[in-house]
Amino acid sequence: MMIVDKDKCIGCGLCIKDCFVRDIEIQDNKAHIKNKTCMKCGHCIAICPKHAVSTDEYSMDDVKEYKKEDFNIDADKLLNFIKFRRTIRQFKNKDVENKKLAKIIEAGRFTQTGGNLQNVSYIVVKDNINELKEMVIETLKNMGEYVLKNSTPENKQIEKYAKMWLRMHKAYKEDPKKNDMLFFNAPAVVLVVSDSDVNGALASSNMELMTNALDLGTFFSGFLVRAAQSNKHINDYLGIEEGKKIVTCMVIGYPDTKYSRTVPRKDADITWK
């Protein structure tokens, strides 16, 4: 529950104004949290000028005091950082430290979720990455064969991928190291799992930024996500709970390529009203 230290509270009411679910009231000139409609969003902890609010459900060690020099990011530099991001498919033969993977996941953990459900979890695959790769490659081959055997005018687009999956499988079987067109010999995979596509995708976006900030590179493997949707055995192997699914698959490693500039994009499609 959320707790107010009555000795520290000065009854300023800032927490009441910022409480979206209206779960706080003033009693005897002190803030009182009813803990009835509270979502544990922590806004009351963040806004209190006297450190009077805490919770016994999460670790208060997560709480950091705001310091402008530590928290502020120049807007133009942030935009350039986003623009310079590239999908990486060339990786060095170098392990990714668990400490860095933990920091990437930390960026996901602190991403907002609808209703503060915090319903996103993470699976890190390193030691068993080749076993996972094998399952996905075989699944993609089976999917490709099925698509081509059941061709219709409506699925011409997926046929392009079906043929690609068969080529990937053939090349992989000939030389798994040289012809890894699934994970590109990256040393780590992080799967973002949730029952909410939106919450999982939001976490993944922040995780990608952290990946680049750590001088790592990543790409999102839609092929693994698609294979897991088709093959329950992959989900069972990964221990994914019933009702949840892989939202994104982040293939992570140290980039073995360098870029010198950003790239152009379409103009933004904006409607002002």
Q: Flag whether 51 is in a domain.
A: yes
Do 200 and 108 belong together in one domain?
yes
Q: Flag whether 67 is in a domain.
A: no
- Residues 34-42: what's their mean pLDDT? 97
Do 240 and 143 belong together in one domain?
yes
Q: Flag whether 68 is in a domain.
A: no
Do 180 and 263 belong together in one domain?
yes
Do 151 and 258 belong together in one domain?
yes
Q: Flag whether 273 is in a domain.
A: yes
Q: What is the DSSP letter of 214?
A: T
Does residue 154 surpass a pLDDT of 80? no
Residue that terminates a domain, selected from 12, 34, 62:
62
Q: Flag whether 102 is in a domain.
A: yes
pLDDT of residue 61: 97
Does residue 159 surpass a pLDDT of 80? yes
Distance CA 219, CA 91 (A): 11
Distance CA 261, CA 242 (A): 44
C-alpha distances out from residue 250 to 172, 174, 182, 197, Å: 20, 26, 12, 15
Query: The domain that contains 149 carries what CATH number?
Result: 3.40.109.10
176-222, pLDDT tens digit by residue?
A: 999 999 999 999 999 999 999 999 999 999 999 999 999 999 999 99
Query: The domain that contains 10 carries what CATH number?
Result: 3.30.70.20
Does residue 153 surpass a pLDDT of 90? no
Q: Flag whether 13 is in a domain.
A: yes
Among 33, 35, 39, smallest CA distance to 53 is for: 33
Do 166 and 261 belong together in one domain?
yes
- Number of structural domains, the chain? 2
Do 22 and 93 belong together in one domain?
no
Do 190 and 239 belong together in one domain?
yes
Distance CA 247, CA 192 (A): 6
- Residues 213-236: what's their mean pLDDT? 97
Do 44 and 125 belong together in one domain?
no
φ, ψ of residue 24 in degrees (nearest 5): -120, 140
Do 6 and 92 belong together in one domain?
no
110-139 burial code (b ≥16 CB/10 A, e <16): ebebeeeebebbbebbeeebeebbebbbbb
* Parallel, antiparallel or unpaired: strands 188-194 and 245-253: antiparallel
Q: Flag whether 55 is in a domain.
A: yes
Give the residue numbers spanning the domain of 104: 73-273
Q: Flag whether 161 is in a domain.
A: yes
Distance CA 153, CA 191 (A): 34
Name the amino acid, one letter, at 121: S
Do 49 and 96 belong together in one domain?
no
Distance CA 36, CA 2 (A): 10
Question: Does residue 247 contact residue 204 with C-beta atoms inside 8 Å?
Answer: yes
pLDDT of residue 98: 98
Does residue 51 surpass a pLDDT of 80? yes
C-alpha distances out from residue 201 to 90, 113, 152, 246, 248, Å: 24, 10, 32, 10, 7
Q: How confident is residue 164, by pLDDT bands cut at 50, 70 and 90?
A: very high
Distance CA 185, CA 167 (A): 17
Do 93 and 204 belong together in one domain?
yes
Do 6 and 104 belong together in one domain?
no
